[in-house]
Amino acid sequence: MLALSPFQLADMTGESRGFSGKAPTVVCFIKEDCPTCREVMPVLAAMHDALSQHLEFLVVGQTVDGNLQLQQEYAPPFALLDDSALKVSFATDIETVPTLLVTGSNGATVAEQVGFVRDDWQRVVNELAAQHQTDAISIDWASLPEWRPGCGSLSVDPTHAERLLAEAENSPIRARRIDVGSLDDEFEFMFDQGFSDGLPVIPPTPERVVRMLAGTTRDAQEVIAIMPPNMGEVTVEKIAINCVMAGCKPEYLPVVIAAVEAVCTDDFNIHGVMATTMGASPVMVVNGPIRHRIGMNMGIGALGQGNRANATIGRALRLTVRNIGGAIPGGTERSTLSNPMKFTMCFAEWEERSCWEPLHVERGYQPDDSVVTIFAMTSGPVLTIDEGSLDGPALAGTLGQASRTILNDRAYSFTNTLMVVSPEHVDTFERGGGFSKAELRRRMQEVSAKTYRQLVADDQSGVGLKPAQAAQMSDEQLDRVVEKFKDDEDIYIVVAGSEAGKFTGSFHGWLTGSRGSIPVSQKIGT
């Protein structure tokens, strides 16, 4: 049975009345636009006349205007209490009106009627009359319908339910609330508070945060990670708040949670990524079934604007790093030039259009796992065009040549790259029996390789191996081959983009390995 907690509500004259739980009480929840509630108004009037001397009698209405209309039409002998805020209805878990509750002297519910079943209401009324030794209550039961369903309580209406949950004592929300003045512009307020990345953010009202939290089964207060540089405690609720500000849908929340888990690992080194003057930023690649479930873009324009999931998931991660971790430009974020990926960069791999196994399977996950992989990249995507190569070796050679200039033409063996291969280039790699990812990586390394002699700084460029160092090396050492990437595995390959266009995009990496950032994959939960 439903349980009532003590409450106080105002009647139409402004006088406060309520349920104490210390005396037998009849409480009925109604609303004016419910035909069944109107049907029981005469029944409630008769019950009040016969029983109000023996027990408390409270009728709770859910709208102010509705109470006024019922008062004018029925002139009931009882006061109509104002629960237009719906907090009592919500706390009592009222789903249907009318709901009639009878409590004993200890406050416990002893009888409950939801909607209207004539025989059941008559039984309750007769039992109350017998218990309190009153004359038979004058109700023309025969004129009433045998059964009539009730109407949905306003407290479970989606228009109100999220606000009520956010305001309830058992609300999942624990974050500090900030009051905005009635004359303040809430969007300007968010800018003034420093919560924004420079673009407008959506105010994270309690209702919106509760709605966002519905996107995950994880507890709102679960600590996901400790976020550098401020070592902020990242809870599911705090991630949800930043997801609201970024414009995410609730179904995106698990992706952002997984991304936060990934960037807060020692391997990824989010503090170093955000603090470096090179302007590195997280780049997110999503694999698995969730791509389709949340409508991510992996086709035409996958790396650009226009898709809500791609744009807001990446932005939510960036806002979380800013607002919880404290990585704010001019503070601990020290990018010399920065780059547009500081706003967002997230896309899905077009696994179905690839001739290779997808990124997450290559990294040890099952094909039906949903996974996000995070890379620390300094720039991109940089376009490489090749409309002439007819097979894998030739196209791989073009990509290898283009990779020489990543960071600098003489910057060798300390960075990585994320290659985004378009479908038409995939077709070229597939032609003639196929060209594997391993073969692509090896070919790129061979084509881009230089000798130490070629990396010595000279009159054309002061970048590279210092002449004084080169002077200490033998001819054999100077003629030793140096590959662009320390390991073949530092070339990461995914497929995305339109069916039309023989292009491959490359993201240029930051420092790789333990002295920089190592890409991290994280399985996406629920």
Q: What does the pLDDT look like over 458-515, one tens digit per residue? A: 999 999 999 999 999 999 999 999 999 999 999 999 999 999 999 999 999 999 998 9
Are 138 and 197 part of one and the same domain?
no
Per-residue pLDDT at 133 exceeds 90: no
Is residue 463 a part of any domain in this protein?
A: no
Q: What range defines the domain where residue 444 resides?
A: 186-449+484-523
The answer to the question of residue 173 being in a domain is no
3-state secondary structure of 475: helix
Clarify whether residues 149 and 247 are in a common domain. Answer: no
Q: How many domains does the chain have?
A: 2
Residue 457 included in any domain: no
Least confident of 132-136, 151-155, 340-344: 132-136
| Domain assignment of residue 353, yes or no | yes
| Segment among 60-64, 163-167, 493-497 with least mean pLDDT | 163-167
How far apart are the C-alpha atoms of 318 and 325, rounded to whole Å?
10
76 within domain boundaries: yes
**Any idea of the CA torsion for 142, 143, 146, 149, to the nearest 10 degrees?**
-150
Quick check: 175 pLDDT over 80? no
List, as own/partner pairs, every contact residues 330-335 make where C-beta atoms lie below 8 angstroms and the sequence separation is at least 24, other chains included: 332/229, 332/230, 332/271, 332/274, 332/275, 333/274, 333/275, 334/275, 334/276, 334/277, 335/276, 335/277, 335/278, 335/279
pLDDT for residue 415: 97
The residue ranges of DSSP E strands in 262-370, in sequence order, are: 281-287, 346-348
- State the pLDDT at residue 126: 93
The answer on 445 and 364 residing in a single domain is yes
**Same domain, residue pair 233 and 360:** yes
415 with 319, same domain: the answer is yes
Q: List the one residue out of 98, 97, 108, 87 whose CA is nearest residue 170.
A: 87
pLDDT tens-place string over residues 343-369: 999 999 999 999 999 999 999 999 999
Residue 461 within a domain: no
pLDDT of residue 477: 95
20 part of a folded domain: yes
**Pair (362, 494) in one structural domain:** yes
Q: Is 165 among the domain residues?
A: no
Shared domain for 191 and 128, answered yes or no, is no
Tell me the mean pLDDT in the region 293-316: 98
Tell me the CA distances in angstroms from 303 to 117, 176, 345, 451, one per residue in order. Answer: 60, 36, 7, 35
90 and 210 belong to one structural domain: no
pLDDT at res. 356: 98
Question: Does residue 161 register a pLDDT over 80?
Answer: no
Residue-level pLDDT at 79: 94
Kindly give, in sequence order, each residue whose CB lies less than 8 Å from that of residue 254, ignoring residues fewer than 6 positions away: 215, 216, 290, 524, 525, 526
Residue 294 CA, distance from chain mean position: 11
| Mean pLDDT for all residues in the chain | 94
Residue 432 pLDDT > 90, yes or no? no
Whole-number pLDDT of residue 421: 98
Do 368 and 258 fall into the same domain? Answer: yes
Look at residue 256 in the predicted model and tell me its pLDDT.
98
DSSP E strands: which ranges in 369-497?
371-385, 415-421, 450-451, 481-482, 491-495
39 and 86 in a common domain = yes
Check which CATH number belongs to the domain holding 22 and give it.
Answer: 3.40.30.10
**In the structure encoding, which two tokens stand for residue 275, read together?**
């603090």
Higher pLDDT, 175 or 148: 148
Q: Kindly state the average pLDDT of the residues 89-113.
A: 95
More confident residue, 121 or 1: 121
Q: Is the pLDDT of residue 399 over 90?
A: yes
Regarding whether 190 and 292 lie in a shared domain, the answer is: yes
Dump pLDDT digits (tens) for 201-221: 999 998 899 999 999 999 999
Domain end marker among 117, 140, 156 = 156
Mean pLDDT of the 409-434 span? 95
pLDDT of residue 166: 72
Looking at 20-153, which runs of residues are DSSP E strands? 25-30, 56-61, 80-82, 96-97, 99-103, 109-114, 116-117, 147-148, 151-152
- Using a 10 angstrom Cβ sphere, with 0-12 exposed, 13-18 middle and 19 or more buried, the burial of residue 205 is middle
Q: What is the mean pLDDT of residues 311-318?
A: 98
The predicted structure's pLDDT at residue 169: 60
Residues 288 and 330 in one domain: yes
Q: What is the pTM of this model?
A: 0.77
Q: What is the pLDDT of residue 170?
A: 62
What integer pLDDT is reported at residue 134 of this predicted model? 82
Q: Would you say residue 167 has pLDDT above 80?
A: no
